[in-house]
Every structure is written in structure tokens, then in C-alpha cells.
């Protein structure tokens, strides 16, 4: 049995207490601070689906405070884009446990 502890299994993730806290913009350009995104791409166009996915994946993985999540993530956009996000399994489970509306409905 492999007893190694993976970083993804212990990394702290931030999940807000309520969905109402997700008051980020629904349109325009979002520029993340280097504390969240230290890559060369700093601006994300919310009219571009790829940019929205990259922005939300970055914020959900890297934010250490609920205020950071709420400032950059819009609840309606999150629901729309959730099934396409590439997230660590533990992070996805934490969000879906807190907000069951994010769980995809089986067809």
C-alpha cells in the first residue's frame, strides 16, 4: 500500500459559507492579483469561455480567503461553467458538498 500523502490531499481550499457571497463580475475583464495568479496571463475576458474557466480554476484553487473567492467569482457564471472546470477532486467535492446545486444532474 502506498502511504504517501499527496499535496492535493492536504492543501487548504477556501469555500464560502453561502452562495450569495459569490458577487464577482459577470462581464468585462478581470485582472487577478499576483497573490492568486503569478503567470504571465493576468487579464481574463469574461466574454470568452476559456478565459472564464481558467479564471475560475485559478481562483478556486489558489484563494486563501472567502473574500478573494467572492470578489472574483460570480455565482451564476460558476453554475454555468462548473461542469467544464478542471479541479482537484477534493476541491470539487468540498464545493459540491456545500452547494448541491453544482452537482450535475444525471441525464
For residue 106, being part of any structural domain is answered with no
For residue 52, being part of any structural domain is answered with yes
Range of the domain at 64: 7-99
pLDDT tens, position by position, 11-64: 889 999 999 999 999 999 999 999 999 888 889 999 999 999 999 999 999 999
Q: What is the largest CA-CA distance in the chain?
A: 49
Domain count, the chain: 1
For residue 104, being part of any structural domain is answered with no
Angle between helices 49-62 and 89-98 (to 10 degrees): 90
pTM score: 0.89
Amino acid at each position: 500500500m502506498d502511504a504517501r500523502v499527496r499535496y492535493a490531499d492536504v492543501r487548504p481550499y477556501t469555500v464560502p459559507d453561502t452562495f450569495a457571497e459569490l458577487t464577482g463580475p459577470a462581464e468585462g475583464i478581470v485582472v487577478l492579483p499576483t497573490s492568486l495568479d503569478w503567470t504571465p496571463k493576468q487579464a481574463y475576458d469574461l466574454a470568452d469561455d476559456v478565459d472564464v474557466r481558467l479564471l475560475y480554476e485559478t481562483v478556486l484553487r489558489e484563494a486563501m480567503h472567502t473574500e478573494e473567492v467572492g470578489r472574483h467569482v460570480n455565482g451564476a457564471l460558476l453554475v454555468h461553467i462548473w461542469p467544464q472546470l478542471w479541479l482537484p477532486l477534493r476541491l470539487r467535492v468540498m464545493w459540491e458538498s456545500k452547494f448541491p446545486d453544482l452537482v450535475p444532474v444525471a441525464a
